[in-house]
Amino acid sequence: MKPSPLKPSLTRASLALLTPALLALASPALAAPSGSLRVDRAAPVVPAGGRAAVTLRWQTQAAPQAEVHVSVSGGVPQLMARSSSGSARASWIQAGRVYAFSLRQGAQELDRLHVLGVPAGGGLLQADPAQVSLGAGGAGQTTLRWGCDGLNGELWVSREGAPEVLFARGQSGEQAAGWIRAGRYRFRLYAPGRARLLDEVQVVGAPSTTPTPPTTPTTPTGPGPAGRDRLQSSYRSLASDASVDATPRTLVETTIQLAAPQWVLLHCDGRVFPGGGRPAGRLELQIDGRSSGTQAVMDWRGSNNAVMTGINAVAAELLSAGQHRLSLVARAESGRFVVGSGTNLSVFVRPAEQVQASALGQDSQRFSFGTAGVGFSKHGYGVLPHTPVLTHRVQPRRGEPLVALAAGTVFHARGRGMGDAMWGLFLDGRYDFADPFVRTNLSVTDVWDGAALRGPLFSQAFVGGERFDGSPRSLSLDACEFPWGQPADNREPKLEFHVERGTNLVTLHGGLRVAGAIDPPARFLSAPSDYIVVGGSRTPQTPLRQARLLASGQLDLPPGHDGVVFFSAKARVQGDTSDPGGNVFLWLEIDGRRRGFMGVQQLKSPSSVSQRTVGVSYLAAGGQRLQPGTHSVKLFGRADGDFKHLSVHNDCSVLYFD
């Protein structure tokens, strides 16, 4: 019997073919995650000395684990909120910073927007990216974002010094420039009629397969507005010890009057010691009355061996034209503490063409590193266990050096046990002890009740231009650990610690006419015993209470240089378990005269073996600017007290840059 044409038969084979289609109709495929992110104001005006607030709203589809992250001026993204939809208020928008908000589901980005903190009375301009890789057709693209306070700004552009042409106009906006070719473009944001310069950025186009060609550094040192702004750089220090309680106390302060928007670097080296009660002290840098950069803390609570220790802070911000107040402020979180005389504040105006600054927005994850099996090599130890805390993507031009500064606080994760909290600065994820073109230091503070459960760490790095060819690189601040015992020894205690929010990383490159490092006699490291003895009762050639030369060299300032140069050195000090203790000093001499802060670290029995980091710094500025020519630079140390062989690690190079 033939099947009816109106009732086709369903054979077993045809049923097998139809079943998936029927199931698909009954159960539609899962939708791909999607979402949108919105903000009420993309360019809020930030009042002088204050902060602005914006409200973000987002909604998603098929994204049950959606997260909103924020990155500040190119820094490491930080988690802000987690929900499939909602709103959040960001009340911490600062002037001169660009905030990138990203809506994500796992590794997938669903939407992104930017918020610019516009300085009151001024404007802010960003190019993203500032280094443009050109495609096969010889062209590339960057995106310009800008915002102005109450006026329709004009965005003009010039290429290689040619006359400016109008690119865009508006109170705020975002516009792509898809015609970037090889060369340098300068975008300038003006008030209407080009009556006043509000901000400017430089964009460089270079073929993706060809390094950016070398150029002459352009940091202004002449009599123009930017050069005059640089001459407002200053160095100041605390004249006498200052007792600090819970009331914030301004220790050092200065003002500057900028003719144009400029990056300004703030740096502090100091010493603190307990003053009464259960003390915990905080030092912070402030710009126009608000905190900026490092939140540096020394907490003696929980310590049975409270001693004087070194502390360090760093910040960098792009400031608008006009007057700004720059301060070093201290307050006690608990009890009372003392900030020692000589604690300094260096204010460096326009230290480089390209500056990045980022701060840790929340306490880091818990770190606990083991070093069993980390063996020796010609580059010191093998690969140190490490995890990035803050990372900067940098792209110096071919032959262009880079400087990095990091400062912050670490704390014990459990409040008991002992070990070394450590970090270092890593180039492309590597810390190569013997690289002839890199100078950097590992920073250590022993975290236990014989020292402190919470304290400061600080590091610096100089990377020579030989390491850069114009391609993108990474410079990161990484928590890490050093194998103090034998390579196969697994008995070393595994400290669990966190890096505290407020830890800051600053990188600088471009326009550095003078930059380098003054090295110890034997800089290359091969073991943790690579120390320089500063003084001891068992080392007749290096007696106690006498100056010990740690590093020595020269720098040459070219004709026409404005003489503004920053110097910095950091060293880890190490005593012996049986040392009664005393004080360790570190200082700089330039052209035979002691300059800058004298770093001090106290060590005391029964914990004299606890290792700490000491820093010294000096900014030649104002009436103490250096003259063109050759200058000698030396780093000295001295051990006062009772030590067998008090030493510093020989990664204590002196960094300098202009």
Sign of CA dihedral 480, 310, 237, 548: negative
What whole-number distance in Å separates Cα of residue 452 and Cα of residue 302? 7
Res. 215: pLDDT tops 50: no
Average pLDDT on 526-542 reads 75
* Structure tokens belonging to residue 333: 């979180």
* Residue 276 and residue 343 in one domain: yes
Chosen domain end from 99, 119, 139: 119
Q: Are strands 420-427 and 473-480 parallel, antiparallel or unpaired?
A: antiparallel
Chosen domain end from 85, 104, 119: 119
Task: Give the H/E segment covering residue 25.
Answer: helix 12-26
Task: Find out whether 71 and 146 touch, Cβ atoms under 8 Å.
Answer: no
| pTM, to two decimals | 0.68
Task: Find out whether 98 and 126 touch, Cβ atoms under 8 Å.
Answer: yes
Q: Is 647 helix (H, G, I), strand (E, B) or coil?
A: strand
Average pLDDT on 396-409 reads 93
Question: What pLDDT was estimated at residue 481?
Answer: 81
Task: Find out whether 522 and 650 touch, Cβ atoms under 8 Å.
Answer: yes
Q: Is residue 224 part of a domain?
A: no
Greatest Cα-to-Cα distance within the chain, rounded to the nearest angstrom: 117
Q: Is residue 558 part of a domain?
A: yes
Least confident of 6-15, 104-113, 224-233, 567-576: 6-15
Give the residues across from 624 on adjacent strands: none
* Residue 250 and residue 201 in one domain: no
Question: What pLDDT was estimated at residue 226?
Answer: 59
For the chain, the distance separating the N- and C-terminal CA atoms, rounded to the nearest angstrom, is 99
Average pLDDT on 143-170 reads 92
Q: Looking at 94-161, which runs of residues are DSSP E strands?
A: 98-105, 108-116, 118-119, 123-128, 131-134, 140-148, 153-159
* Residue 405 and residue 386 in one domain: yes
Q: Residue 628 gets which letter from DSSP?
A: S
What whole-number distance in Å separates Cα of residue 611 and Cα of residue 628? 39
Q: pLDDT tens digits, residue range 29-74?
A: 567 899 999 999 999 999 987 889 999 999 999 888 888 888 887 7
Q: What share of the chain is helix, strand, coil (3-state, %, to 5)?
A: 5, 55, 40
The band of 186, judged by pLDDT with boundaries at 50, 70 and 90, is very high
Average pLDDT on 97-119 reads 92
Q: How many Cα atoms sit within 13 Å of 364 on the Cβ side?
A: 28
Q: What is the percent of the chain with per-residue pLDDT over 90, rounded to a whole number?
A: 51
Q: Are strands 131-134 and 197-207 parallel, antiparallel or unpaired?
A: parallel
* Residue 182 and residue 263 in one domain: no
Res. 401: pLDDT tops 50: yes
State the burial class of residue 331 (Cβ atoms within 10 Å of its Cβ: 0-12, 13-18, 19+). Answer: middle
Task: Find out whether 285 and 357 touch, Cβ atoms under 8 Å.
Answer: no
Q: What is the percent of the chain with per-residue pLDDT over 70, rounded to a whole number?
A: 86
* Residue 408 and residue 549 in one domain: yes
* Residue 189 and residue 320 in one domain: no
Res. 276: pLDDT tops 50: yes
Give the DSSP letter string of 190-243.
ESGGG-SEEEEEEEEEEETTSPPPP-------SSSHHHHHHTT-EEEE-SS-EE
Q: What is the CATH number of the domain that holds 92?
A: 2.60.40.1930
Q: Is residue 578 part of a domain?
A: yes
* Residue 324 and residue 432 in one domain: yes
Res. 645: pLDDT tops 60: yes
Q: Residue 624 gets which letter from DSSP?
A: G
Which residue, 353, 48, 26, is CA-closest to 204?
Answer: 353
What whole-number distance in Å separates Cα of residue 93 and Cα of residue 481? 35
The contacts of residue 110 (CB under 8 Å, 6+ apart) are 33, 34, 35, 36, 37, 60, 63, 66, 103, 104
Mean pLDDT, rounded, of the chain: 85
Q: Is residue 26 part of a domain?
A: no
Alpha helices of 329-456 — where are they, by DSSP H?
none
Task: Find out whether 402 and 509 touch, Cβ atoms under 8 Å.
Answer: yes
* Residue 190 and residue 240 in one domain: no
Res. 612: pLDDT tops 70: yes
Length in residues, the chain: 658
Question: What pLDDT was estimated at residue 251?
Answer: 96
What whole-number distance in Å separates Cα of residue 84 and Cα of residue 34? 10
Average pLDDT on 206-218 reads 47
Indicate the number of domains in the chain.
3
* Residue 294 and residue 362 in one domain: yes
What whole-number distance in Å separates Cα of residue 289 and Cα of residue 120? 15
Q: Is residue 25 part of a domain?
A: no
Res. 4: pLDDT tops 50: no
Q: What is the CATH number of the domain that holds 174?
A: 2.60.40.10
What whole-number distance in Å separates Cα of residue 133 and Cα of residue 136? 10
* Residue 70 and residue 132 in one domain: no
Q: Is residue 10 part of a domain?
A: no
* Residue 397 and residue 385 in one domain: yes
**Which residue range is the domain that position 170 belongs to?**
123-210
Res. 216: pLDDT tops 60: no
Q: Is residue 223 part of a domain?
A: no
Chosen domain end from 119, 148, 183: 119
Res. 378: pLDDT tops 50: no
* Residue 173 and residue 299 in one domain: no
The contacts of residue 565 (CB under 8 Å, 6+ apart) are 514, 555, 557, 619, 620, 626, 656, 657, 658
Task: Find out whether 499 and 358 touch, Cβ atoms under 8 Å.
Answer: no
Question: What pLDDT was estimated at residue 414?
Answer: 74
Q: Is residue 220 part of a domain?
A: no
The band of 84, judged by pLDDT with boundaries at 50, 70 and 90, is confident
Question: What pLDDT was estimated at residue 416?
Answer: 61
Question: What pLDDT was estimated at residue 89?
Answer: 86
The band of 19, judged by pLDDT with boundaries at 50, 70 and 90, is very low
Question: What pLDDT was estimated at residue 448?
Answer: 83
